[in-house]
Structure formats: C-alpha cells, structure tokens
Chain A
Amino acid sequence: MSIALRGIGKRFGEFAAVENIDLDVPSGALLALLGPSGCGKTTLLRIIAGLEIPDAGQVLFDGRDATFRPVRERKVGFVFQHYALFSHMTVFENVAFGLKVKPRAERPPGALISRKVESLLELVQLEWAGGRYPAQLSGGQRQRVALARALAVDPDVLLLDEPFGALDTQVRHELRRWLRRLHDELHFTSIFVTHDQQEAIEVADTIVVLNRGRIEQLGVPGEVYDLPTSAFVHRFLGQVNEVAVQMREGRAHLGPIDISADAAASTAGSIALIRPHEIDVGRGAGGWPATVLTVRVIGPVVRLELQAEGRKAHPPLEAEISRERHEAERFGVGEAVNLKFRRWQIYPAGIPAD
C-alpha cells in the first residue's frame, strides 16, 4: 500500500512538532525517518498510524483519504521501542491477540489461529517460546515477538518506532539485517523511525532526514551521506570537522591551503565541512602543518586527533585512516605531520550550530 502525506502539521500547545510535511511512500518501500530527538519523526509515524490526528493536512492510503480513519481500521502494524508486549499473556497469546479480537464473523477458527501463530513464531525463529511469558525473554527476542504480533493481522503497512533503540549493539545489528530480509520476503510497506544514521543507512532504501518538524532532505542512503544539501544533514550523518574559510588577498583559504578554485568558497565567513576520512595525513611537504594529539585504533580504522597550526582556539581536527596505512606509516603522538583535504563542502555563513 502506498502512503502519501499532504501538508501535514501538528502542534502540541505552542510547540510545532511537524510543519507542512509532504511525503510519498511508494508501495513496498522501506523508508527511514531519521533525525535528532524532538525533530518530529515519531509524531509523523504516529500520525500515519492514526495514533495522532494532524491539525493540518491529509494522510492518503492508496490515494484515499485516511486522515481521520480510526487506528483499528487502518491495517497498520505498529512496533514500539519498548516492545509493549502484554505481560500477562504468553508469547503465543500475544501473537494471537490481533486474530482473537476480530469480530466473530471474521475471526478464523481456533485451529487456524494456532497454525498461523506457530508459522509466525517460526518466521521470527521463536517457535520454542510460545508458552513463555515476555518477562522470560531477552530484549531481542521480545522485539521479534512484537514483530510477529504485528504481522499476525496481515498489515498493509509496518510502522516501527525506534525498534532497535533499546537493544545491545550486537543484537541490534543482527535484527537490522533480519528486518531487511523479512521486508524483502514479505513486500509490505515499512516505515521506521531512528536517530541512528548508521541504522538508517544499513536498513532503508530511502532516508528522510527531519529537522525541527520539517523535511531537510530525502534520498537513497548513499546520496544523503555523500551529497548532503545542508550543513545540518552533513553534520547529522556521520562525523565532521568544521573549518572556517579565510579570505587572504582575495583568495579563499582553509588554513594555509588555497581553495579559491572552489567557487562556493568566495564569500568570507563561510564554513567548510570535512569528514574524517576525507583528511589526508602525511609526512610530505605542503598542506597544513599539524601535531598528532592522540592515536586510537578502532578495528579496521585508526582515528587521529590533530592540532592544526593556528587553530588553538578550536577543537582538534579528527582524521580517519585505514589500519593498513597506519601500520605502514606509524604516526606517533606529538609527531609533526602535514594535512591535505581530499574533499570538502562549503556552506554559507550564519548557519545555526545544531
């Protein structure tokens, strides 16, 4: 089922949670709503689910207006961050809930319910847990039960609110891949909310970056990461170093490096954002002299903190180099090096710091 939002707005008292949101989610998409806390992503998800009624705008399901359609008639599966399993019911009863509350005429016979629940538990690899209570399961297992429960009523849309937010890194990684596989097998439309850019990049086909109740950028994961259209998106997706552009003799510079070839850099006071892996650390001549402050090996990469010349008042620059390069070069703490920037992006002055 395709979903469309037209000019959606929602206020809580004086606070505008979302403003004038237009969004099209094609049938079968796996879309991530990404943003910092308070950006309105959960409100938007709850509006799609029917748990909140927007103050303005329209929600369309398959082109038909569903703005005021009650939750129970929307055929959406909703999964909460903290699972919201019914603690007084067994896992089996939890999954069967949506089938058992159907009106008598639509309710499948008991044997059919049992078979369906068992096949769903098999799908989430918990066929052994039917008789257990939620309190007897781990977080990852509970979230899989919540998913099975949501899938039991054959929803057209699956909505997930920070589904992996409460889990350990390991479990989270495993569940992300599992959700992706599940989505590819079952072909429903899914929207999930996350504040974790890595999660959004790993799982979704489309990422919607939200900021202050508005859509900041929409695109496929690689595009949003590599070609951010605003400083906010650039900062939010991954680490960045910020270097102010300086004008000397009419030419734009980052430290001693002349970047006047970059047309965007010609205004004074603009700022360059550079990702850690876009900084070249070397011993050769030329570039921006700097001192190595710390060296930290993080699995396959090595992160260096660097104090560039004339930047005492600013936080140190962060560079990331490959493990192999580090083994070859062996930069030591206190060593003098030269920095070059492989890539950067210029943003105009006066952009807010968040």
Chain B
Amino acid sequence: MIGSAADTTDTTAELRARRGRRPAGSAALARLLLIVLALGFLTLFVALPLIVVFVQSLAKGFGAYLAAISNPMAWSAIKLTLLVALIAVPLNVVFGLTAAWAIAKFEFRGKSTLITLIDLPFAVSPVIAGLVFILLFGAHGWFGPFLQAHNLRIVFALPGIVLATVFVTFPFVARELIPVMQAQGKDDEETALSLGATGWQTFLRVTLPNIRWGLLYGILLCNARAMGEFGAVSVVSGHIRGLTNTMPLHVEILYNEYNYTAAFAVASLLALLALATLAGKSILEWRQPELRRTALPRRDRGRRAKT
C-alpha cells in the first residue's frame, strides 16, 4: 500500500514523459481539469481547515495562545500524548518487525490469517477497538475482577491508553516492511550466515540497513497516528483531566466548554506535530528516489562496460 510510494513516483514520471510526446488537444484540457479539481479539493478540505486552526488559535493574540498552552491541564495532556507515543511506537516497531520478518522470510500455516489480522485495526472502527479493551479489562469485563483483586488499573489509566494506541497503530510498521522484505528475499541473510555471522549480527548489519527507509517511513506514520488517535483512546481514557487526557481529548473538552482559543491553541500544537512528521516523511521520500536515481545510471554504465 504505502510501500510503493517511490514506485508510484517513477510511474508518474514515465507517464508524464509519454504524455509530453503526445500532441496537445482534448488531453491537455482533461489534464488541466484534473489538476484544478484535485488542487481545489485539497485546498478546500485540507489546507483551509489547517489555516483556520492556526488563525483561530492566534485570534486573541500571541499572549493568549501561550497562556492556553502553558495551562497545567494542557501541559499534562501534551506530556501524556508524548509519553503514549514514546511507549506505543517502539512496541509497534518490535511487533511490526517480527510480523514482517515472519511473513516475508518464512512459510508457515496460518500465514494468510496473520496478514488479515494485521489489517484488522485498519478495518474496525477505533471506537470498537476501545470498547473491546473496556470489555476485557473494565470493572465488569473478563479480567476486571482479577485486576481489581490485584489492585491493577488498565482502563481509565495509562496502560489502557497505550493498549488502545498500540492496537490502532499496529499495521503501519508491519504493512510498510512486508513488501520491502519480500522483495529482498533471503539471499543476503543466508550469505551473512554462511560467512559466519550470528543471527543478531545478520539482523543489525544486513537486514536493518536494507529496510531502513521503509522502517523509518513506517515509524513516522505510526507516530503521527499514535499522537492523533481520538476514538479508541476516548473510550478507554475516562477523560480525567490532568491524568488521562491526551491532546486530542483535551481539545475536545476545551471546545465543548466554548473555550475556542484554548482549544485551537492545543489543536495547533497537535497540527504542528503532525506537520513535522509529514515533513520528515517528505524528506525521506525525497531522499529515497534520489538514491535510486544515482544508482540506476551507474548500474547501466557498468553493464555496458562489461567485464
């Protein structure tokens, strides 16, 4: 799905080159129409709301903006959001890596079931994901009595929020890595092993460098979703101010209290985090095709030169 981003760029470049050779006419008109349509849609539904967030948050001046962000409740929401992402993303990196490794490098019974399961969080509504955890770990849930007897809190506390976030963001890393690892096959790893490397050395020195771009890309997407998740977290958090409110939840509370400036100020921070993540992703995308472009002509040159 996402892994083919660079390939898509290649194909569009090819298409553009082919189209450039064709005589202009109704094709040119269609092209213009499509571009205007896509750009118009994006401006109206993506760019404009983003601008509104920043405009609204600064509507009462920069002072009010700072005050809204430095409010202790806002501050605790920010810290909680970062903490959740800090726990959930590394967990999903480990899960994603193991799942992708298993699927790409081994044949086993139930492989297709595993692939479907990985996609499950994408398919179900986050609210349902949250409810599942309530049913499992809530006071009247399956494990509720056990947890209460041992004085453990999962729902309406940090563990619940982390669980819900891990569930919702699980597919990103795995989905990103499976096609990359499948394309690479097992030859490199088998060579490393035959040269005497241990499994761990093989992973660190051969596998990891081979998948580094895909992995980084997956981490960025996973992180963006982890910080922005609302539905699942909303169900399990309990909305305890200063304790279990993440940034998205805090924004909603402020908004419901008609505190628009503060709501938009926190929202703008969240948007900034998301923008920073997307910028990181763009930098990666921009570097990746460049690496390929420099590698390709060299290979061609080498082939022509022969041995």
On A, residues with C-beta under 8 Å from B are 49-51, 70-72, 74, 76-78, 80, 82, 84, 86-88, 97-98, 101-102, 133, 135-141, 144, 146, 149-150, 152-153, 168, 170-171, 174-175
Cβ of B43 under 8 Å from chain A: no
Partner of A87, one of B190, B196, B210, B303: B210
Best-buried of A72, A86, A146 by chain B (most CB within 10 Å): A72
- Minimum C-beta distance from A226 to chain B (A): 33
The answer to whether B306 touches A171, judged by C-beta atoms less than 8 angstroms apart, is yes
- Minimum C-beta distance from B182 to chain A (A): 15
Bound together, the chains give a CA A153 to CA B192 distance in angstroms of 12
Bound together, the chains give a CA A74 to CA B193 distance in angstroms of 10
Partner of B302, one of A72, A136, A149, A153: A136
The answer to whether B303 touches A138, judged by C-beta atoms less than 8 angstroms apart, is yes
The answer to whether A135 touches B196, judged by C-beta atoms less than 8 angstroms apart, is no
17 A-B residue pairs with CB within 8 Å: A72-B197, A78-B194, A80-B187, A80-B190, A80-B191, A86-B191, A101-B205, A135-B299, A135-B302, A139-B303, A149-B195, A150-B194, A150-B195, A152-B195, A170-B306, A174-B307, A175-B307
Cβ of B123 under 8 Å from chain A: no
The answer to whether A98 touches B196, judged by C-beta atoms less than 8 angstroms apart, is yes
Q: Which residue of B lies closest to A136 (CB)?
A: B298
- Minimum C-beta distance from A95 to chain B (A): 10
- Report if A82-B193 is in contact (Cβ < 8 Å); known contacts: A135-B298, A174-B307: no
The answer to whether B205 touches A72, judged by C-beta atoms less than 8 angstroms apart, is no
Residues of B in contact, count (CB < 8 Å): 24
Cβ of B206 under 8 Å from chain A: yes
Q: Which residue of A lies closest to B191 (CB)?
A: A84
Query: Given contacts A139-B303, A140-B307, could you give 10 more A-B pairs where the C-beta distance is less than 8 Å?
Result: A49-B194, A72-B198, A78-B194, A80-B191, A86-B192, A97-B197, A101-B198, A135-B299, A138-B303, A140-B306
Contacts of A168 in B (CB 8 A): 306
The answer to whether B305 touches A98, judged by C-beta atoms less than 8 angstroms apart, is no
Q: Which residue of A lies closest to B187 (CB)?
A: A84
- Minimum C-beta distance from A169 to chain B (A): 11
Contacts of B209 in A (CB 8 A): 86, 88
Best-buried of A84, A102, A168 by chain B (most CB within 10 Å): A84
Partner of A137, one of B193, B205, B210, B302: B302
Contacts of B201 in A (CB 8 A): 101
Bound together, the chains give a CA A6 to CA B27 distance in angstroms of 69
Bound together, the chains give a CA A50 to CA B190 distance in angstroms of 10
- Minimum C-beta distance from A325 to chain B (A): 35
Best-buried of B190, B191, B209 by chain A (most CB within 10 Å): B191
The answer to whether B188 touches A84, judged by C-beta atoms less than 8 angstroms apart, is yes
Bound together, the chains give a CA A137 to CA B299 distance in angstroms of 7
Partner of A77, one of B194, B295, B298: B194
- Report if A97-B195 is in contact (Cβ < 8 Å); known contacts: A78-B190, A84-B187: yes
Bound together, the chains give a CA A170 to CA B306 distance in angstroms of 9
- Minimum C-beta distance from B287 to chain A (A): 14
Bound together, the chains give a CA A287 to CA B257 distance in angstroms of 108
Q: Which residue of A lies closest to B107 (CB)?
A: A12
The answer to whether B194 touches A76, judged by C-beta atoms less than 8 angstroms apart, is yes
B273-307 toward A: CB 8 Å interface, digit per residue (1/0)? 00000000000000000000001001100110111
Bound together, the chains give a CA A174 to CA B307 distance in angstroms of 9
Contacts of B196 in A (CB 8 A): 72, 98, 101-102, 153
Partner of B307, one of A49, A82, A84, A138: A138
Partner of B193, one of A71, A146, A171, A174: A71
Bound together, the chains give a CA A175 to CA B306 distance in angstroms of 12
Contacts of B190 in A (CB 8 A): 51, 71, 78, 80, 84
- Minimum C-beta distance from A70 to chain B (A): 8
Contacts of A175 in B (CB 8 A): 307
- Minimum C-beta distance from B47 to chain A (A): 38
The answer to whether B305 touches A101, judged by C-beta atoms less than 8 angstroms apart, is no
- Minimum C-beta distance from B16 to chain A (A): 25
Chain B residues 166-181 with CB under 8 Å of chain A are none
Best-buried of B295, B298, B305, B307 by chain A (most CB within 10 Å): B307
Contacts of B193 in A (CB 8 A): 51, 70-72
Bound together, the chains give a CA A71 to CA B197 distance in angstroms of 9
The answer to whether A71 touches B307, judged by C-beta atoms less than 8 angstroms apart, is no
Chain B residues 204-251 with CB under 8 Å of chain A are 205-206, 209-210
- Report if A135-B295 is in contact (Cβ < 8 Å); known contacts: A78-B190, A88-B210, A171-B307: yes
Bound together, the chains give a CA A77 to CA B190 distance in angstroms of 11
- Minimum C-beta distance from A124 to chain B (A): 11
